[in-house]
Chain A
Amino acid sequence: ADIKIGIAEALTGGAAQYGVAISNGFQLAAEEINAKGGINGNKITLVIEDEQGKKEESINVFKKLIFQDKVLMIFGPTLSNSMFAAGPVANAAKTVVFGTSVTANGITDVGPYVFRNSVMESDVLPVTVATATKHYQLKKVAVIYGNDDAFTKSGYDVFKKVLEEQKLPVTTTETYVKGDVDFKAQLTKIKGSNPDAVVCSCLAEEAANIMLQARGLGIKAPFIGGNGFNSPKLFEISKLAGEGTFVGSPWSNTNPAPANQAFVAAYQKKYKAEPNQFAAQAYDALNVAAAALKDIKLSGDIVADREALKNALPKATISGATGPFKFRPAKTRSGQPGGWDADQKPFIYLVKGGKFTLYSSK
């Protein structure tokens, strides 16, 4: 029998640019798995629904997938906010929900059925900042982040903590809001504070504009970014403005590992476009689930199968586009049994010639 898997991503609305890439990643992975004969002979079918990046819509989509389509598990949703609303629904229905792009703190507090392979900023940023500080001999940095978005704000919170821990003084902290395209006021202020580097918790599209406008204003300092920077788009747009940027991330299109190169090539072939980290993580996520599914015998009783998957998934490991992957149990605030976070080692990249290059300290 086919294995029905639900995909709930934002395919329209403001978060569509991420949701669409994610959904592409899933479809590519499903195709590859099915082309190789499926899982223990069972083909994967994806039920893809648009959750529009809205919380009520996510709940509705989750309920439809769980109770009406009776999917085995759900991937998604795109935004952390939506996961906070829809995650409890899946958890209460004892159905695995697997987020690939939800990085906010507390997501896996929702319950034991909640999984994610999105690497948390708190795993990435300390290393990134430390490496950059050493490389550039940084004395002081400026910070800019998007303050109305859960993703960039929680990234900032981590940055702030890391900078405090590493005793790196901050000259000024600037914010912008989603949809802003003009960052010159903030950048002019940053320029006036004369930092050695600019720490940036932003999504790639905004980051590219920030870099361009920074150079336009005569800021020479290099950038340090988190997860959000990780898209080939960054350099398509910012060209050489991003030279010298440090990025910590589990994935890069230039990572030479064969699994990754195969993914990048397959993606380009299918979609005539460069993949990004969102697509890569989605691609890997489906492969992780496939690995777990291999080990269980599906009974056809949806309740039992869902439970079996929930028990098998934590043990699944793969080596995918984002490198070796395994889960680790989440530490929850309340002490209740929580879900599962990614346990993955990030790579540090330095941008050279408009490309991510794996950084190795001399």
Chain B
Amino acid sequence: MLEQQLLNALTLGSVYALFALGFTLVFGVLAVINLSHGAVFMVGSYAALALVTHFDAPLWLAILGAMLISGTIGLLVDVLILKPLRARNAPHLIPMIATIGVGIMLTSAAQGMFGAEVLRFPEETLPAGEFIVGNVHVRALELAIVAIAFILMAVLFTLIKRTQLGRALRAIAESPKAAWLLGINVEGLFHVTSFVAAALGGVAGVLIGLDFNAITPQMGQPILHKGIAVIILGGMGDIRGALIGGLFLGFAEVISKAYLSSQMGDAVAFGLLFLILLVRPSGLFGRKLERKA
């Protein structure tokens, strides 16, 4: 059973990581805890579902469409809400509260349009494919999620660490004023980041919607909760951290369910998180500059 549980942990961890990637990106660049990310994730799911059921779109097109729609929402939130807040020098918790409002709006809009009950992708659209290796049952979709999480992480990580664009993003994250003075189009990059992060959230929504096949207006809430844990465990805004943090949480949860007690899954995961933070006050990859004066 251990092999199966390890696989379970890997997929669950990748699910968390996938969700956390966009979340951490916004956090890292805009320094906003975007609590509407869960709702954007949910919108991604519904968007793909609507494309598949109402327009008979093939799955790949539906995924693209979902990215576009959720990305646009992210962009709109940035342009219409976060940008004016930046211009008005809002204190740092204020944007977070605005995103709570956005989350509420998106959730109730989704309920208005699609109803409160659980919706599913039609069976024929689900990528089939399941194989059994030894004692372990593997589904193609799960493998896809794991692979996509790793690939996206690698791409984003290289982008941020090695390219001029990445350096510019890090510059913005530290000081928008300094970035402007370097000739960086700070607002433009904020918009791009918001779009990309929300699009990533949207993809995560589609994939996870496909895998667990339960789409509801509330589906973003529990994962948002975990997502926050993941990005902070990984270290604020750190792309590698999102993956490692996600995997960590996935493994902690699955292993404690498997070998301790399923009642304790979350308690063990959060308890460990608590302890890790005490040992590493800035998360796994976070670092604090030591210089004081």
Residues of A at the B interface (CB closer than 8 Å) are 11-14, 16-17, 19-21, 147, 174-182, 184-186, 188-189, 191-192, 205, 208-209, 212, 216-218, 233, 236-237, 239
Contact = CB atoms under 8 A, between A and B. Distances in A.
B118 A17 contact: yes
B193 interface: no
Interface of B: 1, 4-5, 8-9, 11-12, 15, 108, 111, 115-118, 120, 123, 130, 132, 137, 139, 208, 212-214, 216-219, 221-222, 253-254, 257-258, 261-263, 265-266
A185 B116 contact: no
Nearest to B8: A184
A95 to B, nearest CB: 28
Most buried by B among A20, A188, A209, A237: A188
A189 B1 contact: yes
Contacts of B8: 182, 184-185, 188
Contact of A239 (B111, B123, B132, B214): B123
B214 A182 contact: no
B257 A205 contact: no
B222 A218 contact: no
A147 B263 CA distance: 7
Given A180-B222, A217-B4, A185 B213 contact: no
Contacts of B262: 174-176, 185-186, 189
Nearest to A180: B222
B214 A205 contact: yes
Contact of B214 (A12, A19, A191, A209): A209
B137 to A, nearest CB: 5
Contacts of A212: 213
Contacts of A236: 120
A52 to B, nearest CB: 11
A17 B132 contact: no
A237 B120 contact: yes
Contact of A181 (B116, B208, B217): B208
A184 B5 CA distance: 8
A209 B213 contact: yes
Contact of B111 (A12, A178, A192, A216): A12
Nearest to A184: B8
Given A178-B222, A185-B12, 4 more contacts: A14-B221, A19-B116, A184-B11, A218-B132
12 contacts: A13-B218, A16-B116, A16-B217, A179-B219, A181-B214, A184-B12, A186-B262, A209-B213, A216-B130, A216-B137, A218-B137, A237-B214
A203 to B, nearest CB: 10
Contacts of A21: 117
Given A188-B1, A218-B137, A182 B132 contact: no
Nearest to B123: A239
Contacts of B11: 182, 184
A205 B8 CA distance: 21
A182 B212 contact: yes
A205 B219 CA distance: 12
A185 B265 contact: yes
A188 B5 contact: yes
B2 to A, nearest CB: 9
B41 to A, nearest CB: 12
Contacts of B118: 17, 205, 233, 237
A182 B123 CA distance: 19
A320 B87 CA distance: 62
Given A186-B262, A217-B4, A179 B111 contact: no
Contacts of B5: 185, 188-189
Nearest to A178: B222
- For B115, B258, B262, the residue with the greatest tally of chain A CB atoms inside 10 Å of its CB is B262
Given A174-B262, A185-B258, A217-B137, A179 B218 contact: yes
Contacts of A239: 123
A14 B218 contact: yes
Nearest to B135: A218
A236 B117 CA distance: 12
Given A16-B116, A209-B214, A179 B258 contact: no
3 nearest A-B residue pairs (beta carbon): A179-B222, A181-B212, A16-B116
A212 B116 CA distance: 22
A147 B132 CA distance: 31
A218 to B, nearest CB: 5
A186 B265 CA distance: 10
Nearest to B108: A12
B108 A189 contact: no
A188 B214 contact: no
B257 A185 contact: yes
Given A16-B116, A147-B263, A174-B262, A186 B257 contact: yes
Contacts of B12: 182, 184-185
A191 B136 CA distance: 12
Nearest to B218: A14
A188 B4 contact: yes
Contacts of A186: 257, 262
A208 to B, nearest CB: 8
